[in-house]
Structure 1
Amino acid sequence: MIPSPQHSPSPVAEPASAFVDSATATALGPWPGTDPVEAAKVSVGIFPGPNLPFLPQLPARGVGSDSIGRTAVLLPELPVDVQPYGWRFVDRAGLDFRRAESALSTDINVLADVVGAGELSPAAFKVHVAGPFSLAASIHLHYGERAVRDYGARRDIGQSLAAGLQVHALKVQSAVPGTALTLQIDEPHIAAVLAGSIPTASGYRTLRAIPRSELRQTWSDLVAAAREAGFSQIAINLAPAEQALAAKAPAERSPSDAADGASAIEATMWRQALEIALEAGIDAVAVPLNRLDGGHWEMLAGALESGVGVWAGTVPVSAGQAPPSYAALVERIMRPWRKLGLAESGLNQLRITEESSLAVLTPQEARAVLGRSLDVAQALGDIRNA
């Protein structure tokens, strides 16, 4: 059992059930470049209320600024370091841990400076963390196997992350006083975890799938802990990893056959993860539109009608290419929306984001994508309020 941090507990945040009069926009978190000052200025500047500014993550800075290392430093009593095969739990914190801790602290301090210098007071602000199962799939135990293999390790990661959110919320709240905090929980590897397609250390076998009941309980517990930590809104982001943890194909099967089979199973598991996420007490779910079929849209329609928000990953991210017109992107949403008979009055439950990580773009290209997200949100608001 991971002990709670020693400080006065934050008041339990009540989920905000009301939506504003229009669709809104935010970004998922990763940002190009290495300048935290510029990134913070873009975030708080381009997303005025009721849109949602965010704490940028700058993976180009290297070790410790990736999503796993950035979240791992929030885990009390579970220090990590970097090995040739990735992050690993260790007995005591070393240079890699301190580097990740320093990068996160710098980002929060820079945010405070930018908000203070501009005399800004965002009504809401978002932070994102890697979810417990993607952490377990990405961090290795001392003997080299991924932590997702071990139930005790998975349990400890979930409990430690819940405790770490208490401290993280207090630090961000001190940087942006009076803001309502939103937490985005990223689970890019959840389909592979449920499908049992995460490779072993040797790469020639796969690790056993986790039970869906464990996923449901862990997510529900984490959402409850996040509310106790002071987060007023919680979203689970199911955008898949851009670099999957793919297992090597067994010798008796061709690589293409193995890949096709794993892909089909993971697609089924992704659908189940979406269903479980919608039952975990969240306020919103983030999904990329390019992954949705008619069945997914029907699930989301039910969630929307029950008051859950949808963060729609709408704007493609393509280096060297301008984003599509806002009219074409609005049609990506309105076509299935109208086909399902959803009321246009419900369009304010949408928050528009990019499809995938902005870190692969230049800062100028990334700003163009964010601008297009705002255009789409505005257009949906016009449709709703016409």
Structure 2
Amino acid sequence: MAWPAATPRTGRRSSAERPSPCSSTLPGTDIAEAQRIVLGELPALPHLPELPARGPGADLIGRTGGLLVELPIELYAARWRIAPRPGRDLRRARDLLERDLDQLAEQAEEYTGPVKVQVAGPFTLAASLELPIGGRLLRDPGAVRDLTGSLAEGVRAHVEAVARRLPRASVLLQLDEPALPAVLAGRVPTESGFGTHRAVESEVARSLLHTVIEAAGVPTLVHCCAPDVPLELIRSAGAAGVALDLGQVTDLDPLGEVIDAGLGLLAGAAPTVPPSSGRPPTSAQVADRVRTLWDRLGFPRRRLAQQVVVTPACGLAGATPQYVRAVLTACRDAGRRLYEE
């Protein structure tokens, strides 16, 4: 799968236990203001922001759970679980997303480029949701398959809903999978904390991930800000790109192989919280971090502008609004620096 023609590469248009905040989270509770920030600072690749501070239903799992088809969810003891029937918690999650989509349509009515929307991937969802009888859904392979099918249908409908609201834009889907490495390695703890769930085989993971990507029908990237990201599995599942925290990359060979095979890279190069100095990174510092990695990989600089988007390392929900603006601006301007070299 190729990147969409209008997708920006470097700032301009060109050819576990609990999931961590992922790359599209922002602080605060005002979706209108969050959307203005995104559209203002990231005009080449805006996204539908997530504001988990609004409470249950605005979080990664609740938001994605609201998309599931014929698998209602509910809160029980502050955890999301499969419910016997739709209820108040599910209505809240769906209402929040509906209002967010309406706000996106209002502010981006004339937008004509790519726009990114995010959902939890099937394995992060399976490692987070509980069965009605208790225990993580991940423990039941049949339930994981059913969850994946439900998610695939929900994702298809979600993408279509965004496309209807923004008919001049092209939709790009992001699957947030912070738990995927732990699922594959058998590191997801059981409820007692004394054991771990059985590892999911790579071929099974590839097949189920492909099910969701294929159902989306649009270019899809997989975001994982954990160590040991299964890059070849993600590429062979049909993803168009992968989003990584560069600080978690320790082995360059797998990354070089998938980039050489054409996988796009969203390079998480800017810290999500201020460094010890308290000052946000400059665009020059962010650009230098990406440039250094690219040179170590051994690819010619001309390919960087074709395959790389500069991003924050992960979600910004824990940052101040001032830091969010500064980091998004630094990433955007770093992309421009790299493209113009």
Give TM-score, length-normalised by structure 1: 0.81
**Stretch moving more, 95-104 or 274-283:** 274-283
Aligned equivalent of 1:373, options 324, 331, 338: 331
Partner of 1:87: 80
Matched positions, count: 330
Shift in Å at residue 22 of structure 1?
5.5
After superposition, the Cα gap between the structure-2 partners of 1:239 and 1:66, relative to the gap in structure 1 and judged at 3 Å, is same
C-alpha separation in 2, matches of 1:221 and 1:382: 38
Amino acid at match of 2:56: V
1:286-365 maps to which residues of 2 (within 5 A)? 286-293=243-250, 295=251, 297-319=252-274, 321-348=278-305, 349-365=307-323
1:115-134 maps to which residues of 2 (within 5 A)? 115-116=108-109, 120-134=110-124
The 3-state SS of whatever aligns with 1:359 is coil
After superposition, the Cα gap between the structure-2 partners of 1:159 and 1:181, relative to the gap in structure 1 and judged at 3 Å, is same
The answer as to whether partners of 2:8 and 2:45 remain within 8 angstroms in 1 is no
Aligned equivalent of 2:242, options 259, 276, 285: 285
Amino acid at match of 2:176: D
The answer as to whether partners of 2:8 and 2:309 remain within 8 angstroms in 1 is no
1:301-337 deviations in whole A, cap 9, x for unaligned?
2222222210000100115833222222222222232
The answer as to whether partners of 2:148 and 2:208 remain within 8 angstroms in 1 is yes
C-alpha separation in 1, matches of 2:157 and 2:7: 29
Aligned equivalent of 1:46, options 41, 56, 76: 41
The answer as to whether partners of 1:22 and 1:378 remain within 8 angstroms in 2 is no
Aligned equivalent of 2:233, options 257, 262, 276: 276
Shift in Å at residue 17 of structure 1?
6.1
**Stretch moving more, 172-181 or 32-41:** 172-181
Shift in Å at residue 71 of structure 1?
0.3
1:180-221 deviations in whole A, cap 9, x for unaligned?
100000101112111212122222221111111111111122
C-alpha separation in 2, matches of 1:336 and 1:369: 19
Shift in Å at residue 381 of structure 1?
0.6
Amino acid at match of 1:61: R
**Stretch moving more, 157-166 or 297-306:** 297-306
The 3-state SS of whatever aligns with 1:138 is coil
Aligned equivalent of 2:222, options 236, 245, 251: 236
After superposition, the Cα gap between the structure-2 partners of 1:102 and 1:312, relative to the gap in structure 1 and judged at 3 Å, is same
Shift in Å at residue 274 of structure 1?
2.1
Partner of 1:258: none
Amino acid at match of 2:216: A
**Over the residues paired in the alignment, what is the CA RMSD in angstroms?**
2.0
The answer as to whether partners of 2:111 and 2:168 remain within 8 angstroms in 1 is yes
1:102-149 deviations in whole A, cap 9, x for unaligned?
110110011112224xxx323111000000000000000011100000
Partner of 1:225: 215
Partner of 2:17: none
After superposition, the Cα gap between the structure-2 partners of 1:95 and 1:234, relative to the gap in structure 1 and judged at 3 Å, is same
Give unmatched runs, 5+ long, in structure 1. 1-13, 241-266
Shift in Å at residue 357 of structure 1?
1.2
C-alpha separation in 1, matches of 2:32 and 2:88: 24
Partner of 1:181: 171
The answer as to whether partners of 2:7 and 2:45 remain within 8 angstroms in 1 is no
1:42-97 deviations in whole A, cap 9, x for unaligned?
1222222xx21000111000010000000001110000111115101011111111
C-alpha separation in 2, matches of 1:113 and 1:20: 22
C-alpha separation in 1, matches of 2:301 and 2:260: 12
C-alpha separation in 1, matches of 2:326 and 2:51: 18
After superposition, the Cα gap between the structure-2 partners of 1:18 and 1:112, relative to the gap in structure 1 and judged at 3 Å, is closer
Partner of 1:246: none
After superposition, the Cα gap between the structure-2 partners of 1:44 and 1:329, relative to the gap in structure 1 and judged at 3 Å, is closer
After superposition, the Cα gap between the structure-2 partners of 1:299 and 1:197, relative to the gap in structure 1 and judged at 3 Å, is closer
Give unmatched runs, 5+ long, in structure 2. 14-21
Shift in Å at residue 275 of structure 1?
2.3
Aligned equivalent of 1:65, options 47, 51, 58: 58
Amino acid at match of 2:104: L
C-alpha separation in 1, matches of 2:84 and 2:67: 16
1:139-188 deviations in whole A, cap 9, x for unaligned?
00011100000011100111111111121112111221221100000101
The answer as to whether partners of 2:310 and 2:334 remain within 8 angstroms in 1 is yes
The answer as to whether partners of 1:317 and 1:323 remain within 8 angstroms in 2 is no
The answer as to whether partners of 2:269 and 2:310 remain within 8 angstroms in 1 is yes
Give TM-score, length-normalised by structure 2: 0.91
Partner of 2:149: 159
The 3-state SS of whatever aligns with 2:50 is coil
After superposition, the Cα gap between the structure-2 partners of 1:142 and 1:275, relative to the gap in structure 1 and judged at 3 Å, is same
The 3-state SS of whatever aligns with 2:108 is helix
Q: How many percent of aligned residue pairs carry the same amino acid?
A: 37
Is 1:35–2:30 an aligned residue pair?
Answer: yes
Aligned equivalent of 1:24, options 6, 11, 26: 11
After superposition, the Cα gap between the structure-2 partners of 1:181 and 1:22, relative to the gap in structure 1 and judged at 3 Å, is closer
After superposition, the Cα gap between the structure-2 partners of 1:45 and 1:274, relative to the gap in structure 1 and judged at 3 Å, is same
Amino acid at match of 1:38: E
